[in-house]
Amino acid sequence: LQLDRQFRVSKVFVGYVTIVGTATELPVFWFSQRLIQRFGHQRLLLFSHAMMILRLLLLSQLGDGYQHTVFFIQALHGFCFALFWSAMVDATFKLAPVHLKGTSQSLLSTAYYVVGPAVGSPGWGALYQWTGRAAPAYFGGVMLVGASMVGVSHLRLDHVIREQSDGHDDDEIRLVNV
């Protein structure tokens, strides 16, 4: 929306920006299981939130004539989305009872790809339309800070996963990343 409205860039330009974002996801997804094992779900989620806050702040500061810097900002996408998604999919799989593992993945996907955009897109678009580019980015950053604070103070995700996996064969609870 910002690229289209503020900079009036071509659809080809947006396509190239999308390629950059996708390219940065691939190595993160490839190494996701190792990253989860080394740092844990909660740290990866917090780091992905921090990277998204940085990305939103950088996007909010783009001025006219600087649209090409969006390629560098978009390079953060792998750390924003792929780390978040890998940690959430793995944690959801590990936390779900055996008979609900498929259902849990469907619910996570629906929440992220259907419910999130159904609420976020109209809200983000309206805020952007009424206030310009900075307010939605700041609002998104504040929401991520709040989510991170709740995650740090109340969510002991890795502790719960370890407790649930005690006594189980590791193969029963591991999501295979290829």
The burial class, CB within 10 Å (0-12 / 13-18 / 19+), for 136 is buried
The pLDDT of residue 73 = 92
The one-digit pLDDT tens for each residue of the chain (178 residues) are 567 767 788 889 889 999 999 999 999 999 999 999 999 998 999 999 999 999 988 988 887 788 888 899 999 999 999 999 999 999 999 888 999 999 999 999 998 888 888 888 888 888 888 887 788 888 888 888 888 887 766 666 666 676 666 655 444 444 444 3
The pLDDT of residue 176 = 44
Contact 29, 82 (CB under 8 A): yes
Q: Give per-residue burial for 138-172: e unless 16+ CB within 10 Å, then b.
A: bbbbeebeeebeebeeebebbeebeeeeeeeeeee
C-alpha span between 56 and 122 (Å, rounded): 18
The pLDDT of residue 89 = 94
The pLDDT of residue 171 = 44
The pLDDT of residue 177 = 45
DSSP state of 132: -
**pTM confidence score:** 0.78
The pLDDT of residue 160 = 67
DSSP state of 69: G
